[in-house]
Amino acid sequence: MTRIAILDDYQGVALSAADWSPVTARAELTTFSEHIAAEAELVAVLADFDIIVAMRERTPFPRSLMARLPNLKLLVTTGPGNASIDVRAARELGISVFGTRAPVPPNLEHTWALILACAKRLVEFDRDVRSGAWQQHVALDLAGARLGIVGLGNYGSRVAAIAKAFEMDVVAWSPNLTEDRCEQVGVRWAQKEELLTTSDFVTIHLKLSERSRNTLGKDDLRAMRPSAYLVNTSRGPVVDERALVSALEDGWIAGAALDVFDVEPLPLDHPFRRLPNVILTPHVGYVTERSYQVFFADVVEDIVAHLDGSELRPLPAGR
């Protein structure tokens, strides 16, 4: 019987998020809730599986790993693309790679949860009340504040729409962003320097690539206002993580709210864990009931198509 591994099912909900009955009659399912980081351990655990289901980029699949999985015939990733899978190498090794649809972006909601947590001091107020303190801080107004959006694509444009509803002044920049695009969204285009030096909140919405890596470096973080907050729900390496630690430790910026990191899960000894001016969430911007329902329903369809000898949602080999 075909053996299927479902990786990184942190919440233990993969099998309840969709109807797997079209698969279970033809295959044996095994879920893994604990993240496996070491390649050698992955090889040992996954060697006998024919199909592997990956949740987004939680577990990378480089050529070196796939070449050591001789039984692997299909790799399914949730989402329409996955930068952590070497799709070209997979094809050369005879491994098909399928994806799923992208749900309506819940990341938008999580971005605003983090912006509001910074502005309204929600974490500090919660800690204060639990410890017996009362009204020890003053919250910030969003109306009239400037939001700088780095990346004005699908996510960034939606973030801008809500910012305008809050009566914020919105500016945007990215390496390829045009004034025409900004006009379409109804925000003002700004040079990178202006965005960083004048924004009260900076939020990042760029896809990770070699070009976007370290888009915000040490000099960029130093340019931000000491009263400003940085929000990142995109990908950790878009910001120079070492420089961000310095920015938070030395007060270059007031604080940060982060859902993404260079290494995930975040190491237990990471400096972010001890800094009081950073809000941390465990890469859950896309982790919602509806997203999981879409993801895993499509995974079931992908697997059934494969078992029937067809391809439903193959990923392009260039990814």
* 11-39 pLDDT per residue, tens: 999 999 999 999 999 999 999 999 999 99
**CA pair distance 272, 86, nearest whole angstrom:** 30
Instruction: Select the more confidently predicted residue: 192 or 318.
Output: 192
**Considering 58, 283, 301, 306, which one is annotated as catalytic?**
283
Amino acid found at 120 = K
- CB-CB contact of 19 with 65 (8 Å): no
198-224 average pLDDT score: 96
pLDDT class of 296 with cuts at 50, 70, 90: very high
pLDDT of 319 reads 47
pLDDT of 318 reads 66
**Considering 146, 158, 235, 306, which one is annotated as catalytic?**
235
Q: What is the DSSP letter of 272?
A: G
**CA pair distance 263, 105, nearest whole angstrom:** 23
2-103+288-307 and 107-280 agree in CATH topology: yes
Taking the CB of residue 3, how many other CB atoms lie within 10 A of it? 15
Evaluated on CA atoms 40, 96, 291, 175, the torsion sign reads positive
**Considering 3, 188, 264, 319, which one is annotated as catalytic?**
264
97-115 average pLDDT score: 90
Tokens encoding 123: 């974490």
Q: How do residues 38-76 score in pLDDT, each as one tens digit?
A: 999 999 999 999 999 999 999 999 999 999 999 999 999
Tokens encoding 2: 């075909």
- CB-CB contact of 265 with 55 (8 Å): no
Domain boundaries along the sequence of the chain: 2-103+288-307, 107-280
Tokens encoding 154: 């699908």
160-172 average pLDDT score: 98
pLDDT at 283 over 80: yes
Percent of the chain with pLDDT over 90: 95
| Chain Cα centroid distance, residue 316 | 21
Annotation marks residue 179 as catalytic: no
- CB-CB contact of 156 with 205 (8 Å): yes
pLDDT at 123 over 50: yes
Percent of the chain with pLDDT over 70: 98
Annotation marks residue 235 as catalytic: yes
What DSSP string runs through 223-251? HS-TT-EEEE-S-GGGB-HHHHHHHHHHT
**CA pair distance 150, 122, nearest whole angstrom:** 24
111-119 average pLDDT score: 98
Which fold is adopted by the domain 2-103+288-307? Rossmann fold (3.40.50)
Instruction: Provide Rg for the chain, Cα atoms.
Output: 21
166-191 average pLDDT score: 97
Instruction: Select the more confidently predicted residue: 83 or 245.
Output: 245
pLDDT class of 97 with cuts at 50, 70, 90: very high
Taking the CB of residue 282, how many other CB atoms lie within 10 A of it? 12
pLDDT at 102 over 90: no
Q: Taking Cα atoms as reference points, which of 292, 288, 268 lies closest to residue 280?
A: 268
What φ, ψ does residue 116 adopt, rounded to 5°?
Answer: -65, -35
**CA pair distance 217, 199, nearest whole angstrom:** 17
pLDDT at 106 over 90: no
Residues 6+ apart with CB under 8 A from 79: 56, 99, 100, 102, 295
Residues 6+ apart with CB under 8 A from 58: 7, 8, 35, 264
Q: How do residues 253-275 score in pLDDT, each as one tens digit?
A: 999 999 999 999 999 999 999 99
Average pLDDT score, the chain? 96
**CA pair distance 223, 49, nearest whole angstrom:** 50
- Residue showing tokens 């390829």: 176
pTM over 0.85: yes
**CA pair distance 150, 185, nearest whole angstrom:** 14
Q: Taking Cα atoms as reference points, which of 225, 198, 235, 305 lies closest to residue 81?
A: 235
Which fold is adopted by the domain 107-280? Rossmann fold (3.40.50)
